[in-house]
Amino acid sequence: MKTYYLALIGGQLFGVDKECVAGVGIRDESKVKPQEENGKNILPLPDGNFATICDLQTLLVGGEALRARQSHYLIVTYQGRFTALVMTGKGSLVMVDDTSPSALPPAFIGRSRALISGVLINCTDLILQLNLDALAKVPDWLASRENCKQKELLNNGAGQ
């Protein structure tokens, strides 16, 4: 059994090994204002470090339409890097048997498979185990995706 920190993001449960959780912060721009650096939003941390902000809700189907209020940051640390996951509520701790997580079905490939290392079935809940190595790359993936979208829009505009 292992202790996982559960984050509710876009109505879905994501699990992070508690050992990798550096803290939880309130998402309040009047107190801590995110900054932009190289197309990525970063959050100053009290110890002088910075966490790259990662909003997984935008990646979920209908993420924009079903946008729930995301009130907190879950600060995750992995290999000296910090990621601030935007989440709904403060999250919670749960003890889970993670010895045999289910793998995603083979239909899921690429980045979705890289990001979700396994799925834990906890009674009626499905908890998506986040691969922290991939999670650290998500802000870069999002930035490159945004660039591609903008190029596509420009190309479409030029074509018309």
Partner 1 sequence: MTSEGRQTEIRAFLLPLAVADAAGDVFCLFSQNQVVEILGRRPIQQIPFSPAYLVGVVNYFDQLLPVISLDKLCNPKQLGCNGGYQQLVVIRTGTVDPATGEPLKAVIVASTRVRLEKLSAQVLATTFTESEAPISLKNTGLLRGYIQRESGGIALIDLSRVVQGTFSDVTQAD
Residues of this chain that interact with partner 1 (CB under 8 A) are 10-13, 56, 59-62, 65-66, 102-112, 115-116, 119, 121, 124, 126, 128, 141, 145
**For residues 2 and 111, which CB has a smaller minimum distance to partner 1 in the complex?**
111
Q: Which amino acid is at 146?
A: E
Shortest distance in whole angstroms from residue 44 CB to partner 1: 26
- What does the H/E/C string look like for 52-74? EEECHHHHCCCCCCCCCCCCEEE
Shortest distance in whole angstroms from residue 129 CB to partner 1: 12
Shortest distance in whole angstroms from residue 46 CB to partner 1: 28
Shortest distance in whole angstroms from residue 102 CB to partner 1: 5
**For residues 103 and 154, which CB has a smaller minimum distance to partner 1 in the complex?**
103
**For residues 30 and 124, which CB has a smaller minimum distance to partner 1 in the complex?**
124
SS3 at position 84 = strand
CA 36 vs. chain centroid, Å, equals 18
Among candidate residues 149, 137, 152, 151, the one with its CA nearest the CA of residue 56: 137
63: left (phi over 0), alpha (psi -120 to 50) or beta: alpha
Beta strand 81-96 pairing with 50-54? parallel
**For residues 126 and 154, which CB has a smaller minimum distance to partner 1 in the complex?**
126
Place of tokens 């209020």: 69
For residues 102 and 135, give the distance between their C-alpha atoms in angstroms, rounded to a whole number: 19
- What the block records as the tokens of 61 is 């189907």
Shortest distance in whole angstroms from residue 126 CB to partner 1: 4
**For residues 49 and 131, which CB has a smaller minimum distance to partner 1 in the complex?**
131
